[in-house]
Amino acid sequence: MQPVVVTGLGIVSSLGCTSREVTDALLASRSGLKHCPELSQQGLPTSVYAPVHGFDETGIDSRAQRTMSKAAVYAAVAANAAIADAHLAESAVAVERAAVIVGGELGGINDLQTMRKLLHSRRKSRSGATGVTKVMDSGASGNVASLLGYRGRAYAVSTGLGSGLAAIRHGVQLITRGLADVVLCGAAEEDSWRYLGPALHRWGELPPGSADEPERACRPFDARRSGTVLSAGSGMIVLESLHHAQQRSAEPYAEVVGWGCGSDGGGSPRSTGTGLRRAVSAALRAAEAGGVDSVDYVHSGAAGTRQGDAIEALVLRELIGSTVPVSSTTGWTGLAVGAAAAIQVVLTLLMLRGGFLVPTANLEQVARECDGLLHIRSVMPRPVRTALCTAASFGCFNECLVLRRYEPAGGNQA
């Protein structure tokens, strides 16, 4: 089976919108969480958010943006950056063999609310002929495919917080089954705190945050964790068959050597760990079959929630053990909902290439229920060959991905 490699990446996040800016933020332990008084002014018990930082949409034609939600624009900017990073020239792509898969959870939810208000105000014509394309979940993938001229498969996937991992998984499957040579995949989400904030508050998972120390509001795995901080953005990567990448002398970041997914199958919207356990187990089996002897790092999707972090720790203790370094970056970036896992993958790739590991933000006292893992407490200069990414979502969707740093033939792979 043809190996699948990552040859380019792009990111839009609260830490920045270029690889260099984001890497510098990670190495400096610089948080993207900010004091945003608008949240408390709207009745939420917090004023902490993680807004996108340094975003520049001028590279996207203004006429094209008429059909694009903010999430789609984020995806397009990240996609362009990923293609540039991969040095993927138009001449190197057979457009009928190039696919686009963009995950997400809420689509153009802000445009949807705008249309609803116009309808209620009897000014429905003001929504414009392109209004419907902005609110569709598939709007991001369709617009990105159109902008690039890619004519292969183009669609959206939505599995909650794991949408980005699901999109990458689908991309790998298209390539390994011979249905595509190049897949641009990831996820995007626009600002959604107005809609998700009240729900998180009712669940008791929206932490209070002060104007003085907003960066300390999100505390994954910590005994004093009280919920997550929302964010927005996009993470996009270029997947290629190894043969296709070699033909154009590309330098891959990593090979995708394993993946797994699973739902809990219960009636509760909160994870029970059943599906996550199956997802991680399947990813580890696939990685082992691909020649991986061990995992060197776990990039956990833990978001600072009381129940979710405990279940994540339980599954990782059982399947990974206490000797593999583990951290979550949500306390630095905020939780970009459907784009969270895609951003997580981009950060993992930056760590693999840069030879360092990022600590979990604000982890001062590990909670008893989250103990038994090798938690990273400070930036670690450390060459890592194999990393595992997890995502456990509200709605009980669970995804896992294993990445191995790419080394040319003759190199010593893990």
DSSP string for residues in 389-407? EEEE-TTSEEEEEEEEE--
pLDDT band for position 413 (50/70/90)? very low
User: Is the confidence at residue 165, as pLDDT, over 90?
Assistant: yes
Average pLDDT of span 137-143 = 90
pLDDT band for position 383 (50/70/90)? very high
Compute the distance between CA of residue 312 and CA of residue 392 in angstroms, rounded to an integer: 8
Instruction: Specify whether the CB–CB gap between 176 and 244 falls below 8 A.
Output: no
Question: How confident is the model over 237-295, as pLDDT tens digits?
Answer: 999 999 999 999 999 999 999 999 999 876 566 678 899 999 999 999 999 998 999 99
Compute the distance between CA of residue 384 and CA of residue 297 in angstroms, rounded to an integer: 7
Question: How confident is the model over 299-312, as pLDDT tens digits?
Answer: 999 999 999 999 99
Q: 4-405: which CATH number, 3.40.50.300, 3.30.450.20, 3.40.47.10, 3.20.20.70?
A: 3.40.47.10
pTM: 0.94
User: Is the confidence at residue 118, as pLDDT, over 70?
Assistant: no
Cα of 189 vs its chain's centroid, Å = 10
pLDDT of residue 129: 58
Closest CA to 249 of 240, 258, 257: 240
pLDDT band for position 396 (50/70/90)? confident
Burial pattern 352-376, b for ≥16 Cβ within 10 A else e, equals bbbebbbbbbbbeebbeebeebbbb
pLDDT of residue 127: 56
**Which comes out higher in pLDDT, residue 118 or 283?**
283
Question: How confident is the model over 354-370, as pLDDT tens digits?
Answer: 999 999 999 999 999 99
Beta-ladder partners of 200:
none
Strands of 342-396, DSSP E: 356-357, 374-375, 380-381, 386-392
pLDDT of residue 268: 60
Question: How confident is the model over 34-69, as pLDDT tens digits?
Answer: 999 999 999 999 999 999 999 999 999 888 888 899
Q: Where are the domains of the chain?
A: 4-405
Average pLDDT of span 79-88 = 98
pLDDT of residue 414: 42
Mean pLDDT of the chain: 92
User: Is the confidence at residue 106, as pLDDT, over 90?
Assistant: no
Compute the distance between CA of residue 309 and CA of residue 247 in angstroms, rounded to an integer: 43
**Which comes out higher in pLDDT, residue 120 or 253?**
253
Residue that has been written with the tokens 């950056």 in this structure: 81
pLDDT band for position 126 (50/70/90)? low
pLDDT of residue 7: 98
Task: Provide φ and ψ at 244, rounded to 5°.
Answer: -65, -40
pLDDT band for position 331 (50/70/90)? very high
Q: What is the 3-state secondary structure (H, E, C) of 270-336?
A: CCCCHHHHHHHHHHHHHHHHCCCCCCCEEEECCCCCHHHHHHHHHHHHHHCCCCCEEEECHHHHCEC
Instruction: Specify whether the CB–CB gap between 37 and 212 falls below 8 A.
Output: no
Instruction: Specify whether the CB–CB gap between 332 and 32 falls below 8 A.
Output: yes
In the structure encoding, which two tokens stand for residue 105, read together? 């959870």
Q: Are strands 297-300 and 386-392 parallel, antiparallel or unpaired?
A: parallel
User: Is the confidence at residue 112, as pLDDT, over 50?
Assistant: yes
Compute the distance between CA of residue 52 and CA of residue 70 in angstroms, rounded to an integer: 12
For the chain, helix (H) and strand (E) counts, in that order, are 13, 15
